[in-house]
Amino acid sequence: MGERGEEWEAVMLRKAEEEESKAVKKVKLVTSDGVTMEVEISTVKEMETIQAFMNATDTDNSIIFPLPKVSSHILSRIMELMSGEYDQELVKRLSHEELKEICMVANYLNMKTLLHLTASAIANLIQNKSVEFVRHFFNIINDFTPEEEVQLRKTHEWAFEGVDED
């Protein structure tokens, strides 16, 4: 009876240790300004770039992942968006600079939901804007000659006349 009890205890202890090591396993993200942010492994699941790295290096130790292109400010914004389940309202409150940075990071870390959300928010900024506005907005050089441009603008004219821009 006594022996079996000890055996039982030993099994439970081993199980608890295993579970602890699983639960404790965290990822440390080091931002460009030297801040280390410890995040749950579940958080990283959406960051496919990091996930792929973790799958490749199957280690029990906690992982340190440097993010030389991401500032701590942007990373904490991303965490807010993730915990807020990507609420559109949270996106609207971002400054344009934050929006652009988050979009770039989402692309870099291959975070599909976040990339989708930010890219469509940026698209909304140029929705129904003129060619001139968009050139200025993205700082794009017009590489058409004036003659070409006049001709090209006529190309789709018939398709849109009298139609509300949507």
Partner 1 sequence: MKKNTQIIMKNFSATPRSSSAPSMDPKIWSKLPPEILEYILSFLPLKTFLNLRSTCKGFWSLIFSPSFISKHSSPSSSSSSSPFSSFLLLSHPQFHRHFPLYDCTLGTWRNISLSLSDSSLHSCPSLTTLVSSGGLFCLSDSLSCSLLVCNLLAKSSRTIQYPSFSLHLEHLTFVTTPTGYTIFVLCSQAASNSAFVYDSNVRTWNRFHGFGPVLGDNHHQQGVFFKGGLYFATPEPFSVVIFDLGSGKWEKPVGGLPSQLTFVRLVSDGEGKLYMVGGVGNNGISRSIKLWELGGDGNWVEVQSLPDLMCKKFVCVCYHNYEHVYCFWHEGMICICCYTWPEILYYLVSRRTWHWLPRCPSLPLKCSCGFKWFSFLPNLYASV
- Residue 10 or 152: the one with the smaller Cβ distance to partner 1 is 152
Residue 39: enclosing H or E segment and its boundaries?
strand 36-40
* Pairing, β 26-31 against β 36-40: antiparallel
Our finding on whether 8 is near partner 1 (CB under 8 A) is no
Our finding on whether 155 is near partner 1 (CB under 8 A) is yes
Nearest to 78, CA basis, from 43, 45, 51 = 43
Q: In whole angstroms, how close is the CB of 30 to partner 1 at the nearest point?
A: 23
Nearest to 114, CA basis, from 137, 98, 138 = 98
- Residue 20 or 149: the one with the smaller Cβ distance to partner 1 is 149
Site for partner 1 in 112-131 (CB under 8 A): 115, 119-120, 122-129, 131
Residue pair 103/95 in contact (Cβ under 8 Å)? The answer is no
Lookup result for tokens 């439970």: 12
Q: How far apart are CA 79 and CA 98, in angstroms?
A: 13
Which residues are bridge partners to 63 per DSSP?
27
Site string for partner 1, 69-108 (x = CB under 8 A): ---------------------------xx--x--xx--x-
- Residue 3 or 164: the one with the smaller Cβ distance to partner 1 is 164
Binding site for partner 1 (CB under 8 A): 96-97, 100, 103-104, 107, 115, 119-120, 122-129, 131, 133-144, 149, 152-163, 165-166
